[in-house]
Amino acid sequence: MSVRSGRGHFSQSLACFFLLFFSLCTQSSLYSAEKSSWQRAIQSRARSFDGQSFVGVHVIADVLNINIYYSNKVRKAVLYLGKTKATVTAFNPFVLLGRQVLQMPVATRYSNGDIFVPVKFFLPILAYALGETSGSSGSSIDIASAANIFGVRVEQKANGTLVRVSTSRKFADSALSIRFSREWLYLDILGGKIQPGAFASTIEPGLVKRVEPVQSKEMVQLSFQLSHEVSVRDVQVTQQTNEIWLSIPAKEAINTDLLKKLKDDQEKWKIDRIIIDPGHGGKDPGTIGKRGTYEKDVVLKVAKKLKKLLEKNLNVKVLMTRDSDKYVSLKERTQFANKNKGKLFISIHANWNRNSRVSGAATYFLGLAKSDEALEIAQRENEVIKYDDNQSDYSRLTDEQIILATMAQNAYNKESQDFASYVQKELNKQTGLRNRGVKQAGFYVLVGASMPNVLVETAFMSNKKEEKLLKQSSFQDKIARAIYRSVKQFKEKYEWRVQTSASGL
């Protein structure tokens, strides 16, 4: 709901209120006469319930000589009072006077097929309806019509607490505001008016312990003392015809929902399934070093070492797009990752440059290449589609398509970038290779992956020294360890972040 202050609306309603109040005051001064004879007649036929004076509706109809409709089945009575009618029901404090809802401080009673209304509160309503104003309790009828807040009913529902404030009209959303202070909930109703001593509250045991109405010049403040603190965000304020509702979900209900959501989120975001994609394979050798080393062989070895580390040290399932020297198309790799609901996709490659002195490791995530180097590498890695029998599967990766593909991965862009920076940092730490940094480029193999994804260019096959290193099992171990460590960090940070953001709800 809106909690803006509606000054414009308020001054308007305040003006209306004073006009009405003023006219009633004038009226009552003219009619400050003695109690009408019908009132005395009714009072003489009253009976007592719990020390309070009540009178049956049939007695009223009899004394006033008016028509009455009475249904014992629904325990409802309608008294026809000249131009208007008053409707009362058994055990209910509300009186429907014409289209106006009035609330008496005490509810009606029921006994032997008759509804009994409280004399003290019902007679002024009758007098008002009949166009008379009683002298003794005149003020209550003035206010009965000037008042627009009649009482509160607190109901305990299966999933929370419903506070129903009975009003004579609909207030503007801007006239209502709620706030909390420790175990008190305050509802301010700008332009609200209560009848002193005629504010009824019915509270079912539960969240609300008691209600205190306070009338100030500009508004009514209803203070609810609660049995425990609730979050202001959980309270919903809605306006019904003649009622303001505050709905407060039960703490248990919130917790159950929250825990379920939290659990779902945790499951959803748990990095428990990792897809390792050793580049190339089969008829596609990838880059070939001067000493005859194949990229496809080196990356498969690194991938297998990484799989072992991950499965041994982290509670994760690792799936490989290939675990032998076979050809897998780029499309199949991403499809495999998606089909197996991977939470992280790591494509492992070795780099190449026509300049054999170029060296170092780089990590890529999907995006528009921002340097010639990145563009060139992506083009080279993407070239492998030439090995595909069905090349029409691949539309040319234009800048526009890369942007579209990146947008499609919007949910994972930040994570991919984060993960890429972990990988790069660890590669630098573990291998001591030149740090070529984190870059973005349009790799086919990353397009369409619905999970955070990166492509690692471990070292340069075109660099003699690095080709030699790439062949060494101990160096492959280092690369595997670097990637493993970055997965561990990413997993810890990512899962922790999900947890904290969910528990902050």
The span of 59-67, 99-107, 376-384, 471-479 binding Zn ion (CB under 5 A) equals 376-384
Taking CB under 5 A as the criterion, the residue among 193, 301, 349, 481 binding Zn ion is 349
Q: In a 10 Å sphere around its CB, with 0-12 CB exposed, 13-18 middle and 19+ buried, how is residue 67 labelled? A: exposed
Query: Nearest to Zn ion by Cβ — which residue?
Result: 349
List the beta strands (DSSP E) in 22-132. Answer: 47-49, 52-56, 68-71, 76-81, 84-89, 94-97, 100-103, 109-111, 114-118
CB of 386 to Zn ion, least distance (A): 13
The span of 252-260, 279-287, 314-322, 363-371 binding Zn ion (CB under 5 A) equals 279-287
Beta-carbon count within 10 A of 350 CB: 30
Taking CB under 5 A as the criterion, the residue among 56, 151, 192, 279 binding Zn ion is 279
Nearer to Zn ion, 10 or 294 (CB): 294
Nearer to Zn ion, 60 or 346 (CB): 346
The span of 67-75, 93-101, 162-170, 272-280 binding Zn ion (CB under 5 A) equals 272-280
CB of 294 to Zn ion, least distance (A): 11
CB 416 within 8 Å of CB 363: no
Taking CB under 5 A as the criterion, the residue among 93, 124, 286, 289 binding Zn ion is 286
Who's near 435: CB < 8 A, 6+ residues apart? Answer: 360, 361, 424, 427, 428
Looking at the DSSP bridge assignments, the partners of residue 200 are 151
Which residue stretches of 340-472 are H helix?
A: 372-382, 399-408, 410-431, 464-471
CB of 457 to Zn ion, least distance (A): 8
CB 24 within 8 Å of CB 145: yes
Task: Give the C-alpha distances (Å, rounded to integers) separating 194 from 182, 201, 332.
Answer: 25, 12, 72
The span of 273-281, 429-437, 475-483, 485-493 binding Zn ion (CB under 5 A) equals 273-281
Site string for Zn ion, 377-416 (x = CB under 5 A): ----x-----------------------------------
The span of 47-55, 218-226, 271-279, 483-491 binding Zn ion (CB under 5 A) equals 271-279
Size of the site for Zn ion (CB under 5 A): 4
Taking phi over 0 as left and psi of -120 to 50 as alpha, with beta for the rest, 31 belongs to: alpha
CB 102 within 8 Å of CB 89: no
CB of 295 to Zn ion, least distance (A): 5
Who's near 14: CB < 8 A, 6+ residues apart? Answer: 191, 218
The span of 281-289, 303-311, 337-345, 353-361 binding Zn ion (CB under 5 A) equals 281-289
CB of 304 to Zn ion, least distance (A): 17
Nearer to Zn ion, 152 or 445 (CB): 445
Would the CA dihedral through 261, 263, 269, 273 be positive or negative?
A: negative
CB of 368 to Zn ion, least distance (A): 20
- Give dist(CA 236, CA 345) in Å, integer: 42
CB of 381 to Zn ion, least distance (A): 5
Beta-carbon count within 10 A of 222 CB: 26
CB 149 within 8 Å of CB 211: no
Nearer to Zn ion, 79 or 482 (CB): 482
Nearer to Zn ion, 36 or 347 (CB): 347
Nearer to Zn ion, 118 or 278 (CB): 278
Binding site for Zn ion (CB under 5 A): 279, 286, 349, 381
